[in-house]
Amino acid sequence: MMGLSRGQRWALLIGSVVLVSLVLRYAGGYVLPFALGLALMSTAEPVVRWLQRHLRLSRPLAVLGGLVTVLGVVIVVLGAGIAVLVPELVKLSREMPRYYPQLLAAMEEASGWLGAVTRKLPLPLQSALEMQLERAYELVMQALGAVLSLLRGLPGFAAILMVGFLAAYFLGRDREEIIDYLRCRLSNYPWERIAQGVAGAVWGFVRATALLVTVSAVICTLGLVMIGARHALVLGLLAGLLDLLPVVGPGLLLLPWAAHALWSGQVGLGIGLGVLYGVMSLVRTSLEPRVMGTRVGLHPLTTLACIYCGVRFFGLWGFALGPLLGVAAKVLAQELVLEE
């Protein structure tokens, strides 16, 4: 960017990240419907163009048809998923009392082992580890509270969805006018290139992450079905969501499960779970560079730092917002600081 020193560019980068973080933390509820509308319109744009090209519809009608089509597909997919998941969850909830004694025994054994290890550490490390364990417990409680809040907040979510739909319609209908206006206002600086770079990187990161999580969930579910594990669908989806965590990923579920199966004499199940984890790791390792690309990818250590900072600042939402802000900051650094 012409006219700014490197120090000023760094200040602009840090200020932008801090400003966005504060807006998301303290005004996220007000921004959410319009962010949802922008994401919805971005998803529906290919359908809108197809309707304009093949059915010769006007832009307003094509936008309305595209949004209805995308929402219809989402509702059908979610409905089918709920129809399959609810009976599985009901069955699992009925069988959970049978697993409580084993779970409590495993937790007591792990607690005793962890206590023996921590007692050998220096006092500062003991305090730090205890604080992190308490933080992990708080996150679990927050997750459970978030699920209950989501159920209680369904009417509010319907209002957010309605506002998001209207925002998506107006964004899509007046897309060219909005772009021309922004291009005219920001023509003196390369803001358009920066905005496109950040938006493209963040949206690409979201799509790539969703694809990787979906692939992991499908592979894990099919693998659990093949080895005869119970509740394969629920546990497969859980393993896919754990793929959001760097380094540990689905291993946080599969590896302790495999160790417990081997310890309890279920050798076939334990070996099958270990092989399944190996297959998932191999597929993830080979697929991630192609899906993420060189521009939107984050190093696992950077992702871990973004998640940690995001959770400390945003709470449970930090698992998603932390990496997204990291991707945006990376592109901003490339555009503002690293490129002369």
Q: Extract the tokens encoding 157.
A: 């979510």
Q: How far is 250 from 255, CA to CA, in rounded Å?
A: 8
Instruction: Judge whether residue 319 has pLDDT over 70.
Output: yes
Q: What are phi and psi of 132, to 5 degrees?
A: -70, -35
How do residues 19-50 score in pLDDT, each as one tens digit? 777 777 777 667 778 888 888 888 888 999 99
**Upper half-sphere CA count for residue 179 (Cβ side, 13 Å):** 7
Instruction: Judge whether residue 244 has pLDDT over 90.
Output: no
Over residues 316-328, mean pLDDT: 77
DSSP 114-171: HHHHHTTS-HHHHHHHHHHHHHHHHHHHHHHHHHHHHHHTHHHHHHHHHHHHHHHHHH
Residue that wins the pLDDT comparison between 17 and 229? 229
What one-character DSSP code corresponds to residue 339? -
Q: How many residues does the chain have?
A: 340
Among 79-93, 200-214, 234-248, the least confident range: 79-93
Q: How far is 172 from 64, CA to CA, in rounded Å?
A: 9
Residue that wins the pLDDT comparison between 333 and 279? 279
Instruction: Judge whether residue 152 has pLDDT over 70.
Output: no
Which pLDDT value is given to residue 8?
62
Find out whether 327 and 197 touch, Cβ atoms under 8 Å. Answer: no
Q: Which long-range contacts (CB under 8 A, 24 or more apart) does 39-42 make?
A: 39/203, 40/67, 40/70, 40/71, 40/164, 40/165, 40/168, 41/67, 41/168, 41/169, 41/171, 41/172, 41/175, 42/203
Amino acid identity for residue 325 in this structure: L
Instruction: Judge whether residue 153 has pLDDT over 60.
Output: no
Which pLDDT value is given to residue 219?
93
Burial of 44 from C-beta contacts in 10 A (0-12 / 13-18 / 19+): buried
CA 24 to chain centre: 16
Question: H-type helices in 227-266, by residue range?
Answer: 232-242, 251-263
Which pLDDT value is given to residue 66?
92
Instruction: Judge whether residue 128 has pLDDT over 60.
Output: yes
Which pLDDT value is given to residue 151?
54
Q: How far is 326 from 305, CA to CA, in rounded Å?
A: 9
Residue that wins the pLDDT comparison between 81 and 173? 173
How do residues 267-276 score in pLDDT, each as one tens digit? 888 899 999 9
pLDDT band for position 237 (50/70/90)? confident
Q: Considering the chain, what is the average pLDDT of its residues?
A: 76
